[in-house]
Amino acid sequence: MRLIILDSADKVSEWAATYVMKRINDFAPSPDKYFVLGLPTGGTPLGMYKKLIEFHRAGKISFRYVKTFNMDEYVDLPKDHPESYHYYMWNNFFKHIDINPKNVHILDGNAPNLFAECSYYEQEIVEAGGVELFIGGIGPDGHIAFNEPGSSLVSRTRVKTLARDTLVANARFFDNNVEKVPKQALTVGVGTVMDAREDLSDHHAALLQSTGDGKERERFKKVS
């Protein structure tokens, strides 16, 4: 594991986007060899997505032969709801790049059989050849995706009932009303994430006090 400390969230975003671009370009994806990318949502990765869009518009990267798998989605929240992760991903990233919509994979929290949906998602990852690079956010209590503290390290994609602390933390996205926050979500498991050939995690609460200059610093974790 490598821990990278940078001076600001903007620098973390640029570092992460540059690294993702390098990994994809070095992989040299083609019609016979897709790069498989695992993606998060939330406030932390927004800057990274904006930088990747800039790189794409500048002709530095193409997502034509990239397949994506998102980490999670709320249960029973319409896909066109402003707080759904379908809405987030399409409006903040996918519609601004050249990715083929059929290569985008996001869990369906409105599927008639949620357990079958989770099983199918795992199968799709396997059929894609596994995730090459999984980018994730680490919550203040250490959770990845909606894997609450105590989740098994070998857990797979599943239905997860959200902890009270998670509901309270996410209430800010739902008019500060905890009762409006969906109580369940579909999430990739810790084992699903760790199966990736490489994992990158950006700490949501990553403000480290440096010695000497007193500046706040952002923490970025690279797990190989």
Residues with catalytic function: 72, 141, 143, 148
Cβ neighbourhood burial of 4 (10 Å; 0-12, 13-18, 19+): middle
DSSP state of 210: P
HSE-up (13 A, CA, CB side) for residue 161: 1
Question: How buried is residue 221: exposed, middle or buried, by Cβ count under 10 Å (0-12/13-18/19+)?
Answer: middle
Q: Is the dihedral of CA 73, 78, 84, 89 positive or negative?
A: positive
Helices (H) and strands (E) in the chain, counts: 6, 10
β-bridge partners, 67: 36
